[in-house]
Amino acid sequence: NAGVTQTPKFQVLKTGQSMTLQCAQDMNHEYMSWYRQDPGMGLRLIHYSVGAGITDQGEVPNGYNVSRSTTEDFPLRLLSAAPSQTSVYFCASSTWTGPSDTQYFGPGTRLTVL
């Protein structure tokens, strides 16, 4: 049981480049989400999904796209990278049943945009 996996672990981009951060989970969770974590700011929600074919914006969605074609996968696409997107990105999954749901996080992707 791998839980939540993310690739790559590290990435360096130049301004204007695009890329996709991969996220997969094997727990059959309906809910998946992407966060960015910056020093002193906690976790900020980028996009989330409550099931295959359903996505919605979080607190900081600009510059990012997502899709959810399967229950397992939830990739995050950076359309045109900017230095402000330098951050650590976490994917998380959980059931979608109530206020006691546990969020399971992947190991993160550390992205640097030059």
Partner 1 sequence: TQLLEQSPQFLSIQEGENLTVYCNSSSVFSSLQWYRQEPGEGPVLLVTVVTGGEVKKLKRLTFQFGDARKDSSLHITAAQPGDTGLYLCAGVPPLNYQLIWGAGTKLIIKP
- List interacting residues with partner 1 (CB under 8 A): 4, 31, 40-45, 48, 58, 90, 92, 96, 98-103, 105-108
Q: Least distance in Å: CB of 79 to partner 1?
A: 24
Decide whether 2 or 40 has the Cβ nearer to partner 1. Answer: 40
Phi/psi class of residue 41: alpha, beta or left (left: φ > 0; alpha: ψ in -120 to 50)?
alpha
Q: Least distance in Å: CB of 93 to partner 1?
A: 11
Q: Least distance in Å: CB of 53 to partner 1?
A: 19
How far is 83 from 23, CA to CA, in rounded Å?
Answer: 22
CA-wise closest residue to 21 among 92, 87, 77 = 77
